[in-house]
């Protein structure tokens, strides 16, 4: 039976774990370098902003109006005119070689229809092998052509429509994907690193043969778990501060919320993730196996089922039900809400309660699994 909690034994356990970490440069490298590298690599590599769309033009009208439209497409910054075509058959050949993503076809009666105030049709042919990019490219070309059409109407003093829609974007005014990706990366990286760091702790004791010595001491299981958690919590908090600062300084992501609120909720998330790592470590008893299990349990769900990469609303119903078990889903709402929207605890109270629940579950699993090992 465990002895009463002792602050002296708890601090001694925390000091022991800190000394082990200091003597293990690989763990320290994993703790501090990997989050920064992941943030920088993912932050630059993952983007849904599409620029310089390789575009071919088949101008069968060859008029001042058609050339003006082509110049408008080029000056938008979204399209790079790489080819001028003479025949429609060339479009398929270029797309087969992946030389272009889009082809714009201007019919021979284009300027005549504009001059007679009849609808003028422009055809956009898109390579649909990448459906997401094709959809975005079509949206761009429709918006650019519509803007040019409105400009033509104004210059020609043509009667304007009686209803005109004006859009306004909140929280991410420039519609930059990095503003959504970087706060999400903070959540995903912290889940991965936290679980991987502590997934080695108990397994390392078994592999080094020090578990029996630890079990023979009067230290209680709660003192062991909390003592092992303290150094990693400190490292995790430092990692969070580093990734947030990098997101603001390097990627220029706006931070509109309360830093203290983010720190408190991040602390709760860290405790849960670290406890989950200790649970994995105690169950597997092998550092290699613990690392592999931690990656499967944390990396894949956090990346695929948290709403970071794919919209949860677009997932099948069965997968949507599973996402409720992924803690990164709720922490993602916290990071994006505090970063971009500047919301407070009144909006995030549900997520805050879930962070508390995650911390309690993580600690409970860690203590319960370690109790089995030392008895």
pTM over 0.85: no
What pLDDT score does 172 carry?
Answer: 78
Q: What domains appear along the chain, each with residue ranges and CATH number?
A: 7-46+176-374 (no CATH), 53-155 (3.40.1710.10)
Rounded Cα gap, residues 182 and 201, in angstroms: 29
* CA nearest to 183, candidates 352, 338, 312, 354: 338
What pLDDT score does 115 carry?
Answer: 74
What pLDDT score does 161 carry?
Answer: 44
What pLDDT score does 55 carry?
Answer: 93
Helix (H, G, I), strand (E, B), or coil: what is residue 125? strand
Tell how strand 123-126 and strand 102-106 pair up. antiparallel
CA of residue 16 relative to chain centroid, distance: 35
Helix (H, G, I), strand (E, B), or coil: what is residue 190? helix
Rounded Cα gap, residues 301 and 306, in angstroms: 7
pLDDT by residue for the chain (375 residues), tens digit each? 455 677 888 888 788 878 877 877 777 777 788 888 888 887 777 776 677 889 999 999 888 888 999 998 999 888 999 999 999 899 988 988 889 999 999 989 888 887 776 778 889 999 887 777 788 888 888 888 888 887 777 665 444 444 444 556 677 777 677 888 888 888 888 887 777 777 777 766 666 666 656 666 777 778 878 888 888 888 888 988 998 999 999 888 999 999 999 999 999 999 998 888 888 887 887 777 877 888 888 878 888 888 888 888 878 899 899 999 999 999 999 999 999 899 999 999 999 999 999 999 999 988 888 754 444
Residue 137 near residue 56 (C-beta atoms within 8 A): no
Q: Could you identify the residue written with the tokens 């975005």?
A: 136
């Amino acid at each position: 039976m465990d002895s009463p909690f002792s602050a002296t034994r708890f601090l001694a356990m925390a000091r022991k774990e800190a000394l082990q970490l200091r003597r293990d440069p690989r763990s320290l490298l994993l703790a501090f370098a990997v989050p920064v590298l992941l943030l920088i690599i993912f932050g630059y590599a993952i983007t849904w902003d599409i620029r310089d769309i390789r575009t071919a033009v088949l101008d069968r009208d060859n008029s001042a109006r058609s050339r003006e439209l082509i110049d408008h497409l080029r000056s938008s910054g979204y399209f790079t005119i790489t080819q001028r075509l003479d025949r429609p058959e060339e479009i398929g050949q270029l797309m087969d070689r992946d030389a272009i993503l889009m082809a714009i076809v201007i019919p021979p009666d284009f300027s005549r229809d504009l001059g007679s105030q009849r609808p003028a049709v422009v055809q956009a042919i898109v390579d649909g092998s990448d459906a997401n990019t094709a959809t975005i490219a079509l949206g761009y070309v429709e918006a650019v052509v519509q803007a040019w059409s409105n400009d033509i109407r104004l210059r020609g003093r043509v009667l304007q429509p009686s209803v005109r829609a004006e859009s306004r974007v909140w929280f991410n005014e420039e519609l930059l994907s990095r503003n959504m990706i970087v706060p999400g990366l903070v959540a995903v990286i912290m889940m991965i690193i936290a679980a991987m760091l502590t997934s080695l702790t108990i397994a390392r004791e078994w592999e080094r043969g020090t578990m029996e010595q630890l079990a023979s001491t009067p230290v209680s299981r709660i003192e062991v778990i909390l003592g092992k958690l303290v150094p990693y919590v400190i490292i995790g908090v430092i990692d969070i501060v580093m990734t947030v600062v990098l997101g603001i300084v390097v990627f220029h992501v706006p931070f509109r919320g309360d830093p203290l609120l983010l720190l408190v909720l991040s602390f709760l998330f860290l405790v849960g993730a670290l406890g989950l790592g200790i649970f994995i470590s105690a169950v597997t008893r092998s550092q290699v196996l613990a690392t592999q299990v931690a990656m499967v349990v944390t990396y894949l769900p956090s990346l695929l089922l948290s709403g970071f990469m794919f919209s949860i609303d677009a997932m099948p119903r069965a997968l949507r039900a599973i996402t409720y078990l992924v803690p990164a889903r709720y922490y993602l709402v916290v990071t994006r809400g505090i970063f971009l929207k500047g919301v407070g605890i009144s909006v995030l109270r549900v997520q805050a309660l879930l962070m508390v629940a995650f911390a309690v579950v993580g600690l409970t699993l860690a203590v319960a699994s370690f109790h089995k090992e030392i008895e």
